[in-house]
Structure 1
Amino acid sequence: MSAPIRLALADDQALVRGGLRALLEGFAPLQVVIEAGDGEALLAALDATPVDVILSDIRMPGTDGFVLLQRLRERGDATPVILLTTFDEPELPLRASAAGAQGFLLKDASPEDLFEAISRVARGETLLAPVPTDPVRARYAFRDQSPPTDTFNEREVAILRLLAGGYSNREIAKAVFLSEGTVKNYVSDILDKLGTRDRTRAVLKAITLRII
């Protein structure tokens, strides 16, 4: 019998937490070992109780899901995180991937889909897929719209689309059959051509300029 997946659950609404716990504990093997009303309480609980996956609402008072994720990564905690929200806003998956989340789901996902998501990230997978660019372009245009210093070839465009989906260099390397070092070089070239400092700005500018 496989070891249970140890889950931490953060949501500011007690009824939502209770409902999620009741739904998820119907799936074996899974155990909810931490419940918290905000990110700060969850961070404190993790000091004493390590978990395999964190399931967190995005919008919570105080330390919300994005701040929680940032704090985790800053202290070197690589525990996979799935962010939940009731808001179907096109820019949220992009923000989630940029922040280092392994998954992003709406709260109306079925219990089966939620359990599958938790199981997959517990195995080291990521759920973040390439995001639709038109809604993001309409609502989240990048302020710097200067043209790139050079054109983009087909391989670079493909890598940009995977960057927009939140994939790591290792995951991109597997998808396009290149070494991780080669992908890293491609990403550096992409940043240089766009005149951006990081992957998030590169993706936003590429979407704004309709490169992807």
Structure 2
Amino acid sequence: MKPIRLFVVDDHALFRRGLISLLSDMKEFSVVGEAGSGEDALRVVAQAAPDIILLDVNMPGISGVETLQAMRKKGLETRVLMLTVSMDESDLVGAITAGASGYLLKNAEPEMLHRTLLDVAGGKSVLSPEVTEQVFKVMRRAQSAHPQELVSGRELEVLRCLARGLTTSQVASELFISENTVKTHIRHLLEKMKVSNRAEAVAKALQAGLI
């Protein structure tokens, strides 16, 4: 049987190289490429023709979720496993909505990673046990909640910053995230709260007692 072709995207070189070394020791897999950013991945991943892309969530520049969205817009249907430290609800929901086949935390044991990759290659969708309950909570809230009740913890932090009049770059600096990630959170806020701009989002949040 041909090895399963993998492509690794992570901005931390030490982790990326260690992961590639680990995967190279697993006979079922062949690492066919790597990238240190979403932008780099978008330039070269199609040519590498992997079966699975292992994609970090929090990266400088465009985030992992935004990278996945861009891949789908370009028509790249390769299966994607998000491999991350983030348990942020917006990251999790964003990844699933964008079409990720799995969401695995970086603290997973090598055996769990090995099994997850085989499952993803076989067409299954896989979630880390730590985030599975979050998915069910989101689904339960979505059935009964008002849009503003769907706001995640990170989105609420962004909303509070907006209420203080901070700019996108200032919010990014305060929360230690990229400006693109801030813009993504704001877009999600506007959609969830069914408003058209930041001022309306802040006003609605104040009215609802969110901030």
Offset at residue 46 of structure 1 (A) = 1.8
Please name the residue that 1:186 is paired with. Answer: none
Give yes or no for contact 2:57–2:86 (8 Å, CA) kept in 1.
no
Write the distance in 2 (CA, Å) between the matches of 1:142 and 1:115: 40
- 4+ aligned runs moved over 4 Å, structure 1: 134-137
Q: Which residue of 1 aligns with 2:137?
A: 133
Deviation at 1:142, TM superposition (A): 4.8
Counterpart CA distance in 2 for 1:77 and 1:142 is 34
> What amino acid is aligned across from residue 19 of structure 1 in structure 2?
G
Q: Higher helix share goes to which structure?
A: 2
Equivalent residue for 1:85? 84
Cα distance change of structure 1 residues 55 and 35 upon mapping to structure 2, 3 Å threshold: same
**RMSD across aligned positions (CA):** 2.5
Matches within 5 A, 1:22-101: 22-101=21-100
Shift of the alpha carbon at 1:144?
Answer: 5.8
CA contact (8 A) 2:54 2:83 kept: yes
2: distance between equivalents of 1:63 and 1:134? 25
**How far 1:15 sits from its partner (Å)?**
0.1
Sequence identity (%): 39
The alpha carbon displacement at 1:88 in A equals: 2.5
1:84 counterpart letter in structure 2: L
Q: Which secondary structure does the structure 1 equivalent of 2:75 belong to?
A: coil
Alignment size in residue pairs: 143
Unpaired stretches in structure 1, ≥5 consecutive residues: 146-199, 202-212
What TM-score, normalized by structure 2, do the two folds share?
A: 0.61
Deviations 1:62-105 (CA, angstroms, capped at 9, x unpaired): 12211110011111111000112212334433222111100001
Whole-angstrom CA distance in 1 between matches of 2:79 and 2:111: 19
Partner of 1:179: none
